[in-house]
Structure 1
Amino acid sequence: MTNKNIYRQFVASGLCVGALLLSGNVVAQSGITLYGQVDTYVGSVQAIGQQNRTSLLGGSGGMQTPYWGIKGTEDLGGSLKAIFALESWYRPDTGASARYNGDNFFSRSAYVGLQGSMGTIKFGRNTTPYWISTVTFNPFAGSFAFSPAIYQSYFSNGSVAAPLLGDSGWSNSVVYTTPNMAGLVANAIYSFGEVPGDMGKNKVGGNLLYKNGELGATLAYQQVDYSQVPGDLGVAFAKQKALFAGLSYDFKVVKLFGYLQRLDNKVSTGDLKRNSAQIGISAPLGTGSVLASYAYMKTKGTMENNRNSWAIGYDYPLSKRTDLYSAYYRDSVSGIGKGDTLGFGIRHYF
């Protein structure tokens, strides 16, 4: 599946089991769609700094985290539509819901909103614009098993703290998306902290996405003010600002991806800054595509280390909705050690 298809899946999402019981007449009038994706792989993982290797059936997905959902629309007249989406992650190896124990059932998306000529507004739990920019401008997209970009931005891998705070979706949020303006789309998100007596503990973010022919570009920003203690940086943490700039260009024989990222953490014991960059390619080979990516991160401040991550893989489509893949990921952090993941998997959209 291409990054463009994955992006569309994040923009249009939903899940509600109860809606399946509706009559055919109601479903037709409401424009309700059931959809999702199943992704699992067989492989092994060696965590950073550890000697032992774990063999596994990767139920949390190799190329993409499994999910399923329902989305719907209602025509209100005059180009205005009511929209909704409810969506859940799940783990096909055990049948358990959500990404991990304690995760909310509708943690991927849960919103209702309006869509018209002036754009789209959604209320509820929404995918962040920052996440959309990250998965669109790296060849491994949203892979939590093999993508250096995702590892270095969102995933702790046990012994290494995840640098980006706030998750890929924000609860209690409002998102506004502009109409497409000659290839340019803007998104803005605000998440209410809902803390009595403290109006400042909120989250805000947004991005610009540009697509013109073979060229793609993005600029994303988000700021997290925590009302509770995040585990990565302890009680001294106050605020994080994140800035992301990405480019892609499809030369047909190879598609190039790249980004730069800057994270500023405000900590009472001393500020912490993380700078990172990623470069990657997707190149057709036979019926499938070769994927490769390298990412580097340097941390300065209250803790200092360098992180190098690279991955290579091959994605082979069996049809428009089913693909086979194999991939290898290597991660190393100065002063901590190295780790890697190897897997062979299958993904199917429905």
Structure 2
Amino acid sequence: MKRYVLTALIPGALALPAHAQSSVTLYGLLDVGISYAVGSQKAVVNGRPVGGGNQLAMTDGAFGLSGSRWGIRGTEELAAGLRAIFTLESGFTLNNGAFAQGGSEFGRQAFVGIESGAGRLTLGRQYDPHLDIVAPFSAAWQFGGYAATHPGDVDNLLSTRRLNNSIKYTMPKIGGLSAEALYSVGGAAGSNARNSAWSLGAAYDGGAMRLGTAYLSVRNPNVAFYGANPNGGGVAANNLGSLGSATTPESNPLYAGYASANAFDLFGAGASVTWQAATAALIYTNVRYTGLGDVATSGPNPLGYSGTAAINTIELNARYQFAPALLAGVMASLTRSAPVGGHDGAWYRQFGFGASYALSKRTTIYTTAVYQRASGIDSTGNAAVASISGLTPSATHAQTAVRADIAHRF
């Protein structure tokens, strides 16, 4: 991706030591496409979704391979091998020009820090180690886009959610080994744990074989994780999703009933093997909403849940580089929501395809297709419906979506 680098001229620069160099890089990505979904619901009546028919829409690439964004990245060389760094990155929806990430001006990333041979320390709004280390093994990152994430992006593999008030350390790579650690300060008076989060991750890059694993734990996730955007509500609001109503469809029915969880714990692991132009990857994630029923500091509990809700997903994907400009891949995943609240839980089976063709080093066209089938009882206490990420859930147990995009980097 070509960058346009601007040299920052500081008053009195002639008086600075010769090694004190500063630079600022302006960069961005524009991505928009047309999507078609079959059987989207329009409301929930007496616990049963009502179909609204097929849906044709133009949406930003956030629902494809890459959300539109622009950013500024800067560095300044300091003494003793230190370097000051910063990144401000703003997401927006290209089809209507609105801010993404719930209206955040710099909702994708906003941090400042120091780096040296001993590693990198940054503070601000950042990605957690699970996203940095495990997510790249997923089909969603490689070729499938947002629709290929697991239902509702339950394991946050495509950065639906970020962490505010975070302190992050990234160690320098030693051989093929790397690691990250993060702590998000809760900021609640009288309780250092409330609204806080921590995460650890490690990876190994052996060339043909890559491995990665990470753990993320968030206290009061309805507020600190799902509600960490300007449009997020507090304890009284359900930021995880919606149970639907007679006038509105559901949103994230896989886990929308768990807003009262006192903690959100996520473990993930991935592995990939590359042979010539082919790469195959396996990924596993375990999500746990623990301490359900915490209406005082977490969120509403309309279904009266208690205890723990666990969601496990396993995914297998493969991609092939047919030519320098042409990439294609396929994926299959199985998501299991364990029983909670007296029901048997739900199953989600998903299959996806993606292909991209680079018209140049900066401009790419691509297409994706996903099919999902659901069964059992979901977190709303109703029969599970298919819920492809980024789309209005289906009125039935099955859903299909196809998409075509154009993306341009600068």
Query: Do the structures match in fold with TM over 0.5?
Result: yes
Are 2:143 and 2:355, in contact at CA under 8 Å, matched by a contact in 1?
no
2:265 aligned residue (232, 237, 241): 241
Kindly state the Cα deviation for residue 70 of structure 1 after the two structures are TM-superposed. Answer: 0.2
Q: Deviations over 1:153-179 (max 9, x none)?
A: x53xxxxxx465995321000000000
For the pair shown, which has the larger CA radius of gyration, 1 or 2? 2
- The aligned counterpart of 2:311 is 274
User: Unaligned 5+ residue runs, structure 1?
Assistant: 6-19, 156-161
| Residue pair 1:225, 1:238 contacting (<8 A) in 2 also | yes
| Equivalent in 27, 36, 58 of residue 35 of structure 1 | 27
Within-5 A mapping of 1:12-91:
25-26=9-10, 29-46=21-38, 47=40, 50-61=51-62, 62-91=64-93
Is 2:361 the partner of 1:320? yes
Deviation at residue 236 of structure 1 after TM alignment: 3.5
Amino acid at match of 1:141: W
Count of aligned pairs: 323
Aligned to 1:11: none
More strand by share: 1
What does 1:103-142 correspond to in 2, within 5 Å? 103-141=103-141
Q: Deviations over 1:270-328 (max 9, x none)?
A: 31111110110111224401111111111113150001111112111112222111111
Quote the Cα distance in structure 2 between the aligned partners of 1:282 and 1:34.
Answer: 31
Amino acid at match of 2:29: Q
* 2:394 matched residue in structure 1: none
Is residue 405 of structure 2 the alignment partner of residue 345 of structure 1? yes
2:277 and 2:322 in contact (8 A); partners too: no
Q: 2: distance between equivalents of 1:285 and 1:126?
A: 35
TM-score (norm 1): 0.84
Query: Which residue identity does 2:9 align to in structure 1?
Result: N
- Partner Cα distance (1:241, 1:124) in 2: 21
Q: Is 1:151 aligned to 2:144, yes or no? A: no
Q: Does the alignment pair 1:224 with 2:218?
A: yes
Q: Is the 8 A contact 1:129 1:188 kept in 2?
A: yes
Q: Say what the alpha-carbon RMSD is for the aligned residues.
A: 2.8
The aligned counterpart of 2:202 is 208
Residues 163 and 319 (structure 1 numbering): CA distance in 2 closer, same or farther, change over 3 Å? Answer: closer
- Of 184, 192, 209, which aligns to 1:191? 184
User: 2:215·2:267 contact (CA, 8 Å) conserved in 1?
Assistant: yes
* TM-aligned CA deviation for residue 58 of structure 1: 1.9
Report the CA distance shift for 1:292/1:126 in structure 2 as closer, same or farther (over 3 A).
same
Is the contact made by 2:134 and 2:213 (CA closer than 8 Å) also made in structure 1? Answer: no
Give the AA of the match of 1:177.
T
- Distance in 2, matches of 1:164 and 1:115, equals 27
Residues of 1 paired with 2:33 and 2:144: CA distance? 12
CA contact 1:214–1:250 (8 Å) conserved in 2: yes
TM-fit CA distance, 1:59? 1.8
Identity of aligned residues (%): 23
Supply the AA of the counterpart residue of 2:338.
K
Decide which moves more: 43-52 or 308-317.
Answer: 43-52
Counterpart of 1:208, as a letter, is A
Secondary structure class of the residue paired with 2:150: helix
Q: 1:103 to 1:346 in 2, by over 3 A?
A: same
The amino acid that maps onto 1:80 is L
Normalising to structure 2: TM-score of the pair? 0.72
8 A contact 1:40–1:58 mirrored in 2: yes
Change (3 A) 1:331 1:242: same
CA contact (8 A) 2:33 2:60 kept: yes
Which runs of 5 or more residues in structure 2 are unaligned? 14-19, 42-48, 224-234, 241-255, 294-305, 376-383, 386-396
Residues 54-107 of structure 1: CA deviation (Å, up to 9, x unaligned): 1111224321111110000000022210001111111111111224xx431111
Q: Report the secondary structure of 1:32's partner residue.
A: strand
Contact 1:141 1:147 in 2 (8 A): no
Paired residues of 1:290 and 1:312 also in contact (CA < 8 A):
yes
